[in-house]
Amino acid sequence: MYTVTIRDHMMIAHSLPAKAFGPAQHMHGATYVVDAEFKSEQLDENNIVIDIDIATKKLQQALAPLKYQNLDELAQFKGKLTTTEFLAHYIHQQISDEIKDSFTGSLKITLGESHVAWASYEGKVA
Amino acid sequence: MYTVTIRDHMMIAHSLPAKAFGPAQHMHGATYVVDAEFKSEQLDENNIVIDIDIATKKLQQALAPLKYQNLDELAQFKGKLTTTEFLAHYIHQQISDEIKDSFTGSLKITLGESHVAWASYEGKVA
Amino acid sequence: MYTVTIRDHMMIAHSLPAKAFGPAQHMHGATYVVDAEFKSEQLDENNIVIDIDIATKKLQQALAPLKYQNLDELAQFKGKLTTTEFLAHYIHQQISDEIKDSFTGSLKITLGESHVAWASYEGKVA
Amino acid sequence: MYTVTIRDHMMIAHSLPAKAFGPAQHMHGATYVVDAEFKSEQLDENNIVIDIDIATKKLQQALAPLKYQNLDELAQFKGKLTTTEFLAHYIHQQISDEIKDSFTGSLKITLGESHVAWASYEGKVA
Amino acid sequence: MYTVTIRDHMMIAHSLPAKAFGPAQHMHGATYVVDAEFKSEQLDENNIVIDIDIATKKLQQALAPLKYQNLDELAQFKGKLTTTEFLAHYIHQQISDEIKDSFTGSLKITLGESHVAWASYEGKVA
Amino acid sequence: MYTVTIRDHMMIAHSLPAKAFGPAQHMHGATYVVDAEFKSEQLDENNIVIDIDIATKKLQQALAPLKYQNLDELAQFKGKLTTTEFLAHYIHQQISDEIKDSFTGSLKITLGESHVAWASYEGKVA
């Protein structure tokens, strides 16, 4: 199994309005350092998993509508708890939709929220 | 697959009394930076893998009896070679015992012993 | 010159309402990984710059009123641009006020806002 | 599953002469921080996955012929695109050949090429 | 004293043709992770040391002519030993020339060449 | 001002027998990731602060007598509190003694004891 991973980040505000989240129910924010790991059983004719410029651009495009936003105000997150796990899955879906015709393999999205906590979602690109 | 990971650490002394360990047969020590990665196929109703406060507390409780200890003196390690791999498995068991009734999934414990070496154990929580 | 540094973090929301900040004028947020570096020419009778438990507690106390907050709503930041530099200085003042009677030396507060940007303030504790 | 990982690095020059690589078609270079992760279902009688000194030595031996080299000049890479993915696989093969008689398990080689990009190859040692 | 730091990187080839450099006399290469730290006694009216977008752009412009290059082929480095220290100073000069009319303070350029070695140059912007 | 920094590490046991250290009065241990930063106003004829191979060797020699040791048993630390700050100073002295005839400048020794705490000593090489 081959992988290639690239890193970007976004800075967002949100609240987590469910009792389980304690003080995080309040409007707060996070820097998410976002790693997109592309996985494939085979390399292509250029000995790569995916073109790193395309991968970088697709990750940027997935994060662009979220950067410097208050997620509570975005239509796509209406009524959703935008936990780190949820956002990892959301970004996975956004990138998968963009590359599913050209990339066969899996994608793992990891969001680092601090030096002591991170979360991820991994699934087939489809 | 979703994951959430939290980080803590412990500073311990021990010796590794088997010929294979060369100078590490002598009483020495380590800072172990400990990552506990909880893995689950599904999120719960709060869009999380596990409550991060509970996870943090369970990791703290597993490490508390080891912090600032000489492992050679602890009853539970009598006659054991407390390698990094062994300790990863031991901490896995301690946390699994605590959460097996409420968490379905896997747990990976990684112990970083320096900037150039680390070890892990991963298994089902059961 | 001796130093000792400890690390904590906070997750906050804020906006930066001045034209220079472009998209960051909008309500967004950040995880700040906060390093407090205490500097002293001499060690005390215990061969330390400062008691690490006291230092850790003072940093926690300085961050506690900010954690999981929307800085725009806090009285102490009314009408202020809460840039990373400004917050480094603010935390410096909070800790200095607490330790100035017992610690002689300098304090540097560094706030990491992502894997590619950080800011700091350093000054005498007074 | 148990793992143990060690880290080394190499500094090399190369070019990537295929249109897809844009400016990287030109002679340039990289520091690759190389992680070798050994995976095994069982620990041996010393409670380890593999002797860390042997693992360290095998990684060093695999990297030695590449360190401070221009990969374009090396016979083994004649006509090859020495991408990060390709090199991860190459190093995997070199180490596998050395340890396949004594180690049963998998090996993952990860090459970090910067703070924002890395690639890996993982496969059975055979 | 306030600081703000941003990070970028470049991947270059070069040789160090002096006996002291041993194997690094040969054509090889490096990824340099480049940190530009701007230092100032005062914040401006926006509570910042320097506009982070301008700082980011100036660093990018300084690195652009070096990225994916063989430094041995560049006119500005003819007959020079392009050590990490030398390159830190060179980048310092390039950025200083660009900002000296608008920024009063110091600039520190740090080049990380691996996880175990880095070098820097710091001086007044003038 | 130019700097060059190299990194090594050591794993030791010790106790800190003074009331201020709480649980660390007990025999425990640490991995210290040790950074040696050499500082100089000028580069030499090879455009370097110090020969990195010599620097690496001097750091290794300073750490060698401490690696895998119980510091409480070593004659040079008899009756001393071997805090992180103290050890930074001790290593500084060891290296200074070795290089003072050939290196003019300062040396900063930083010991990372975990992902959330580190200490340093800096002084002239003399």
Q: Where are the domains of chain B?
A: 2-124
With CA atoms as reference, the chain C residue closest to F18 would be C46
- pLDDT for res D13: 98
Q: Which residues of F touch B30 (CB under 8 A)?
A: 11, 29-31
Contact assessment for residue F82 and residue F30, using Cβ atoms and an 8 Å cutoff:
no
CATH class of C2-124: alpha beta
- pLDDT for res F120: 98
With CA atoms as reference, the chain A residue closest to F115 would be A115
Taking the Cβ of residue B52 and every Cβ of chain D, the question of whether any pair is shorter than 8 Å is answered with: no
d(CA C61, CA C58): 5
Question: Which residue in D101, D105, D93 sits closest to D1, CA to CA?
Answer: D105
Question: pTM for this structure?
Answer: 0.98
Token duo for residue D25:
């078609």
- Distances E56 to A9, B3, C33, C116, E9 between C-alpha atoms, Å: 15, 33, 21, 10, 12
Token duo for residue A3:
């992988």
The answer to whether ipTM exceeds 0.90 is: yes
Convert the pLDDT of each residue in B16-65 to its tens digit.
999 999 999 999 999 999 999 999 999 999 999 999 999 999 999 999 99
Cβ contacts of A43 within 8 Å, gap of 6 or more: A2, A49, D83, D85, D86, D89
Contact assessment for residue A120 and residue B3, using Cβ atoms and an 8 Å cutoff:
yes
Question: Which residue in A5, A2, C54, A17 sits closest to B47, CA to CA?
Answer: A17
Instruction: Give the model's confidence band at A97: pLDDT under 50 very low, under 70 low, under 90 confident, else very high.
Output: very high
List subunits contacting chain B, requiring 3 or more Cβ pairs under 8 Å. Answer: A, D, E, F
Contact assessment for residue D105 and residue D39, using Cβ atoms and an 8 Å cutoff:
yes
- pLDDT for res B76: 98
Q: Which amino acid is at D37?
A: E
CA distance D47 to chain E (A): 29
Taking the Cβ of residue F81 and every Cβ of chain C, the question of whether any pair is shorter than 8 Å is answered with: yes
Cβ contacts of E108 within 8 Å, gap of 6 or more: E35, E36, E37, E39, E92, E120, E121, E122
Contact assessment for residue F52 and residue F4, using Cβ atoms and an 8 Å cutoff:
yes
CA distance A21 to chain D (A): 31
Question: Do D11 and E67 make contact, defined as CB atoms within 8 angstroms?
Answer: no
Contact assessment for residue A80 and residue A18, using Cβ atoms and an 8 Å cutoff:
no
Taking the Cβ of residue A114 and every Cβ of chain F, the question of whether any pair is shorter than 8 Å is answered with: no
d(CA F23, CA F39): 37
Question: Do F31 and B28 make contact, defined as CB atoms within 8 angstroms?
Answer: no
CA distance B43 to chain A (A): 8
Question: Do A48 and D20 make contact, defined as CB atoms within 8 angstroms?
Answer: yes
Taking the Cβ of residue E31 and every Cβ of chain D, the question of whether any pair is shorter than 8 Å is answered with: yes
Taking the Cβ of residue C31 and every Cβ of chain A, the question of whether any pair is shorter than 8 Å is answered with: yes
Mean pLDDT of chain E: 98
With CA atoms as reference, the chain D residue closest to E64 would be D23
Q: Phi and psi for A84 in degrees, rounded to 5? A: -60, -45
Count of positions (residues) in chain D: 126
- pLDDT for res A22: 96
Mean pLDDT of chain A: 98
Q: Phi and psi for A123 in degrees, rounded to 5? A: -165, 170
Q: Which residues of C touch E43 (CB under 8 A)?
A: 83, 85-86, 89
Question: Which residue in C88, C94, C89 sits closest to C32, CA to CA?
Answer: C88
Contact assessment for residue B113 and residue B84, using Cβ atoms and an 8 Å cutoff:
yes
Q: Which amino acid is at A50?
A: I
Helix or strand holding residue C84 (H, E): helix C84-99
Taking the Cβ of residue D54 and every Cβ of chain B, the question of whether any pair is shorter than 8 Å is answered with: no
Roughly how many angstroms between the first and final C-alpha of chain F, as a whole number?
18
Token duo for residue F65:
């007598």
Q: Which residues of D touch B87 (CB under 8 A)?
A: none
Q: Exposed, middle or buried: residue E79 (CB in 10 Å: 0-12, 13-18, 19+)?
A: exposed
Instruction: Give the model's confidence band at D125: pLDDT under 50 very low, under 70 low, under 90 confident, else very high.
Output: very high
d(CA F86, CA C42): 11
- pLDDT for res F108: 98
- pLDDT for res B87: 98
- pLDDT for res C14: 98
Best F21, F28, F82, F85 residue to mutate vs chain C (most C CBs within 10 Å): F85
Convert the pLDDT of each residue in C58-85 to its tens digit.
999 999 999 999 999 999 999 999 999 9
- pLDDT for res C86: 98
